[in-house]
Structure 1
Amino acid sequence: MSDLVKREITELAPNGSNYLSWSLDAEIVLDGKNLMHAIKPTNDKIATSAERAQALHFLRHHISSSLKNEYMTERDPIVLWNALHERFEKMETVLLPRVKREWQNLRYQDYKTVEEYNAKLYAIITRMKLCGLKLTESDLIEKTLSTFHPKQTYLSRQYKKEKYKKYIDLSNALQQDQGEDEELMQNHLTRPTGSLSKPEANAVSSSQKNEGKGKESQKAPWKGKNQKFNNFKKKGQWKSKKIPPGGEYGKQDQECYRCGMKGHWSRICRTPKHIVKLYQELNGQLKKRKTEHEAHFVSSRKFEQGESS
């Protein structure tokens, strides 16, 4: 039943390990709902019964089920708030040594990226603030630059010469340099030192260009761009090609309809295009002249009959 209403903050753990952050979040939400005086009354403002009921419901809804059962009889939000504070107020003394140990063991060289290091750094800073301990900007800068890898000592000295006053400025500089290093490494991995660049997909060598001027590609017409042959071959659906009666390249005395030469079929003709074009134009002119002669042709017999008449 407690999950019917969505929680606005993380619930308080049974051992109170997250009491510091939980109490801070609870105060912020209650203050936004104008219910802060229900747990911390003042002389100027006293909570009504309805406001106390709302504050009590909020607190009970955001604590673990075991704690809710322990404080089942509490009807006043002030009593419940103070009871939780008295029970877990010593978490500061328990948490502070742990946070200090994490701060001492924090090193910049243990993280691959600046983002990962900053996430851990700010988490430690937040818990220190909850325990009443505040770190200065110089502490953050010194901690970062003094924990560089020994191989990067030169870089650490370069950053120290900049004399940053705020850690955010140092963090931005580290992120910028990290981006440039990643770009250089990516370019190196793409084409290592001494290797040639990859040829373009449409690039043609000079020898291929010269060969293309004299004759077309020597590939068979069923190879190359037509991928159906390969697909059928893989599936086992390709059947053997029927060879014409005259052989694969045709009869020796049969002319090609494309270029007029003998010894091959028109569908496998490899004659250059400019020669084929000249042949087609010449052949067309010959056919045109032939039709003109036939239209005006008169036999000698018909001519004699015309004179006698």
Structure 2
Amino acid sequence: MANLIKLQYVALRLDGENYSEWALDTVLHLQSMNLGETLNEGNNTSQQDKSKTTIFLRHHIHEGLRAEYVDIMDPLELWRNLKERFDHHKSITLPMAQYEWTHLRLQDFKSVSEYNSNMFRIVSRMRLCGEKITEENMLEKTFSTFHPSNMLLQQQYRERNFKKYSELISCLLVAEQSNELLLRNHQTRPTGTAPFPEVNATTSSSYRGRRRGPGRNKFRSRGGHNRKSFHLQRTRDEAKQDKGRMIQSKPQNHDSKCYRCGSKGHWSRTCRTPRHLVDLYQASIKNADQKIETNCVENPDPVDLANFDLSEFLQD
């Protein structure tokens, strides 16, 4: 059956691994209830107080241990048996705690709070086993395990002459939070860039109250122009520019003749040749289609023009 009374602290485990912590919690709780004398040798406490202490001890141990010591009614006897059985765990816990203390380094932890938690866990276990750890030991352990990249920072903290370990940890925690905030601000946007300016649209009440005709302000922009008409005008201008570019880019056939005047370099629709020249050209085309008879005359006695004198060509 489950315990009906809620445990006030962690019960003693069956293997007794947490005996040191359990013994300390037990003594403190019994003293708070004025039952601490029941665990002292040769006490003269009443039977009622002894029964209360026995019930309290049995309630805060493992069910297996409770079954093993079910016949013990005296709280002092039960306390001695548990101590003889599990007190040797101090000899096991202390070397392990000393090993962890030796290899404890601030540079091995991602955050100061994580390092601080492990520091107190190790120190408390060593103190429970009778090992004395002072504030100077904790300060020196922290200073000597800074990362080499923070050597200058470590020297600055040493010069402040902290007397308590908690003061040093407080400064380290504040510096860690400041560095984290600085890193977040740096990662917000690339270095050298500025945020976009905020644009707030404002409308004058007097402007809203005026009416300049139905539908006139419907498409007006901030510059006072009609957006629709501006868009149409822009579309027409772009169409004209595209048409002009197409005409310019279209290759001109300079080898072809104008069928109107016969000249090259232009088309008939752009021909500016005078009308009488056009008529002559057209007539020449028609005459070219008719066959022309050609008679060849051969002189059997060629005349030597080189031996003629100029006077022979002149008449009296």
Give the CA deviation at 1:111.
1.5
SS at match of 1:75: coil
Q: 1-side partners of 2:120 and 2:8: how far apart?
A: 23
**Which of the two has higher C-alpha Rg?**
2
Give the CA deviation at 1:258.
6.4
Give the CA deviation at 1:71.
0.7
Q: Which amino acid aligns with 2:12?
A: L
Report what 2:118 is aligned to: 120
Q: Which amino acid aligns with 1:39?
A: L
Deviation string 1:156-192 (CA, Å, 9 cap, x unpaired) is: 1222222322212211221222122122212212233
Report what 2:89 is aligned to: 91
Q: 2-side partners of 1:172 and 1:268: how far apart?
A: 64
Report what 1:285 is aligned to: none
The number of residues matched between the two structures is 218
Report what 2:143 is aligned to: 145
**Distance change (3 Å), C-alpha of 1:272 and 1:30:** closer
Query: Is the aligned partner of 1:16 residue 2:26?
Result: no
Q: 1-side partners of 2:149 and 2:47: how far apart?
A: 66
Report what 1:173 is aligned to: 171
Q: 2-side partners of 1:188 and 1:78: how far apart?
A: 64
Deviation string 1:191-245 (CA, Å, 9 cap, x unpaired) is: 3311111332x347xxxx9xx99xx9xxxxxxxxxxxxxxxxxxxxxxxxxxxxx
Provide structure 1 residue ranges, at least 5 long, that are not aligned to the other structure.
217-256, 261-265, 276-309
Report what 1:65 is aligned to: 63
Provide structure 2 residue ranges, at least 5 long, that are not aligned to the other structure.
225-316
Deviation string 1:270-298 (CA, Å, 9 cap, x unpaired) is: 3689x9xxxxxxxxxxxxxxxxxxxxxxx
Q: 2-side partners of 1:180 and 1:27: how far apart?
A: 43
Q: Which amino acid aligns with 2:219?
A: R
Give the CA deviation at 1:42.
5.0
SS at match of 1:31: helix
Query: Is the aligned partner of 1:82 residue 2:80?
Result: yes
| RMSD of aligned alpha carbons | 2.7
Q: 2-side partners of 1:184 and 1:23: how far apart?
A: 47
Q: Which amino acid aligns with 1:121?
A: M
Q: Which amino acid aligns with 2:34?
A: N
Where does 1:237-256 land on structure 2 (aligned, <5 Å)?
none
Query: Is the aligned partner of 1:32 residue 2:32?
Result: yes
Query: Is the aligned partner of 1:132 residue 2:130?
Result: yes
Q: 2-side partners of 1:269 and 1:185: how far apart?
A: 49
Query: Is the aligned partner of 1:158 residue 2:107?
Result: no
Q: 1-side partners of 2:113 and 2:147: how far apart?
A: 17
Report what 1:259 is aligned to: 213
TM-score normalised per structure 1: 0.64
In the TM superposition, structure 1's runs of 4+ consecutive aligned residues that sit over 4 Å from their partners are none
Q: 1-side partners of 2:61 and 2:220: how far apart?
A: 89
Q: Which amino acid aligns with 2:82?
A: L
**Distance change (3 Å), C-alpha of 1:196 and 1:59:** same
Report what 2:184 is aligned to: 186
Report what 1:103 is aligned to: 101
Q: How many percent identity over aligned positions?
A: 38
Give the CA deviation at 1:97.
0.4
Q: 2-side partners of 1:57 and 1:49: how far apart?
A: 12
